Amino acid sequence: MAHPSGHHTYPRSARVNQIVREIISDELVRLSDIDERIGMLTVTGVETSPDLRQGIVFFDSLSADARVVLEEHRLQLQGAVNAQTRLKRTPKLTFRADPAIAQGQAVEEILRRHRDDDA
């Protein structure tokens, strides 16, 4: 949303991260039609550095096989970001499992054990 002065109400980095996340998600759908090794991956977020040189793409889970496939297609994914945005630089993408997902699962497991101990 824009202010009357033309400025957005949330930081540029958040907008860039959201746009890159959407582009990567769309490209993964296309790539999964070409390379079935990609399987079902969900992009949970993107963090770009302030200078846009680096970008970390987070997934709900990321097996070793999926990481290899993503690395094989990294330049294609970066090319899609470049083609669909007007960024000064295209970030070099790296791929990681979202630590928040693993932490949430660990908390759920602790709560489940605690509930089972009480029963």
Domain boundaries, the chain: 12-118
The pLDDT, as a whole number, for residue 10 is 67
* Residue-level length of the chain: 119
Can you read off the two tokens belonging to residue 12? 């540029």
pLDDT band at 107 (very low <50, low <70, confident <90, very high): confident
Whether pLDDT at 1 is above 50: no
Q: Which tens digit of pLDDT belongs to each residue from 39-91?
A: 888 999 999 999 999 999 999 888 888 889 999 999 999 999 999 998 889 99
Rounded CA-CA distance 118/113 in Å is 9
pLDDT band at 16 (very low <50, low <70, confident <90, very high): very high
Count the neighbouring beta carbons within 10 Å of the beta carbon of residue 27.
19
CATH classification number, 12-118, choose in 3.30.300.20, 3.30.70.870, 3.40.50.2000, 3.40.50.20: 3.30.300.20
Rounded CA-CA distance 108/101 in Å is 11
Whether pLDDT at 106 is above 60: yes
Q: Model-level pTM?
A: 0.77
The pLDDT, as a whole number, for residue 118 is 75
Can you read off the two tokens belonging to residue 77? 């994914």
The pLDDT, as a whole number, for residue 117 is 76
Angle at 59 between CA 58 and CA 64, to 5 degrees: 105
